[in-house]
Amino acid sequence: MTLGTVQASISGERRVALVPPVVSALSKKGLEVLIESNAGREAGISDDAFREAGARIVQETEAWESDILALVAPPSDEEIARLASGAVVVGFMQPLDEPARIARLADQGVTALAMELVPRISRAQKMDALSAMASLAGYKATLIAANRLPRFFPLLTTAAGTVRPANVTILGAGVAGLQAIATARRLGARVWGYDIREAAREEVKSLGAQFVELDLETEDMQDEGGYAKALMAAKAEQQVELLVPHLAKSDVVITTALIPGRRAPTLVSEAAIKAMKPGSIVVDLAAATGGNCVLTEPDRVTTQHGVQIIGYTNLPSTVPADASFLYARTISAMIGEFVKDGVFETNFEDEIFKAACVCHEGQVVHERVRNLIDR
C-alpha cells in the first residue's frame, strides 16, 4: 500500500504530517511513502531529505491518490472529493467541532481516523498529537507575551534601580497551561495558575507557581478523559466575577481552557480587561473555539481598554520544524499500529482504533459524532 502526504492548503499552516525519520520506519513496515514535492519546505525539510529516507517525491495529484493519507489539517470539501473510495485518512479532523465534514468523508467512502480522539490510555501516549501540539502552544504563547509586554518578565537589579518581576496568570492547567507556567517561570516571572480541577493544584505548585484560590465549589470537575467539565451557568458566571480582582493584578494572562466538542468557556470578562493595567497582555489559546476572553478575535491582535488581546489559532505552526517532528511521530505511531505486512488493517476490537475512527465504509461510526450530526 502507498502512504502519502501533501502540503497543507490552509493559509498559515507550515507543518507537514511526515518527516524523514518516520518515513524510514514506515517503509520498513512495507509501505511505499509518497511525498508531494515541497511538502516539507516550510518546516525546513527538503525533497532530497525525504528521498534519502526512502520516500518517493511525487506531484500533488499522485499524493492524493495514496491508499493511506497522513494530514495535518482537515481536508476541505474540494480535497475530500479527491479521495479514493476505500482510502484511509489520518490526521486532525475536528470531528466534534465540524461533524458535517465527517459526514462528507463517510459519503466519499473513506476510513478516517481523528487524532483528536485518541484515548488517554498508556498504550496510546505515543499517539497523543493533541498534547504534543498543546505543549508547543503553551511555550510560544508565553514567548509572544514576553515579547509584547512593555516591561521585563524577570526581577532585574541594575545600578539605576530594581525592576520588579512581571505577574503572569495562566488560566487552565492542562498540557498547554503547564508548559506556559514552566516557560514563564524560566523567564523569571511571578506566576499563578488556575484550573477548576482539584487535581491540577499540585501540578501548578510543582512548577513553582502559586495556585489561584477562588471561593467556588468545584468538586468532581474532571471527566474520564482528564479534561475539565463544563460548569453550570450560575457557577460559570461566579467564576468569571471571582477572577476579576486577580486578573487586575496581572501583567500577562494566558488562557488555555478548552472543553472538547463545546465552545470554549468564558473566563475573562470585559470588566476584567478594563481592570487590567494599560499595556497588559492577554494571549487566548482558545481563540479557535470562541475564546476564553469575551473580546478575543480569532487570528487577530487587538487593543481593548489599553490591553493587547492576542487570538492566534495555530501557534504550533510558528515552530514548524519541531511541530512537524512531534506530530509526525504521533501519526507514524497511529498508522504503524495497524499496518501488518504493508497492509492497513481496520480493527474495531482495538480500543484505540474504535475511539479514533469516525467513519468507515460509508457510515459515521463514532457515536458522539453521529449524535452531533443527527441533531
Kindly give the pairing relationship between strand 307-310 and strand 339-340: unpaired
In the set 9, 59, 76, 125, the catalytic residue is 125
Q: Is 131 known to be catalytic?
A: yes
In the set 67, 128, 251, 284, the catalytic residue is 128
Q: Which amino acid is at 190?
A: R
In the set 108, 131, 280, 332, the catalytic residue is 131
Q: Is 194 known to be catalytic?
A: no
Cell (9 digits) for 342 = 504493508
In the set 51, 82, 120, 151, the catalytic residue is 120
Q: Is 324 known to be catalytic?
A: no
In the set 201, 222, 227, 238, the catalytic residue is 227
Give the three-state DSSP class for 143: helix
Q: Is 125 known to be catalytic?
A: yes
Q: Is 374 known to be catalytic?
A: no
Cell (9 digits) for 212 = 489561584
**Max Cα–Cα distance, the chain, nearest Å:** 72
- Using alpha carbons, select from 108, 127, 111 the residue that is nearest to residue 119: 127
How many CB atoms sit inside 10 A of residue 98's CB? 14
How many CB atoms sit inside 10 A of residue 148's CB? 15
DSSP 196-250: S-TTHHHHHHHTTPEEPP-S---TT-B-TTSPBPPPPHHHHHHHHHHHHHHHHT-
Cα gap 59→41, rounded to integer Å: 14
Q: Where would I find the H helices in the chain?
A: 20-27, 47-52, 60-64, 77-80, 99-107, 129-148, 175-186, 200-206, 233-248, 270-275, 320-337, 351-356, 367-374
Cell (9 digits) for 68 = 493511506
- Tell me the catalytic residues: 120, 125, 128, 131, 227
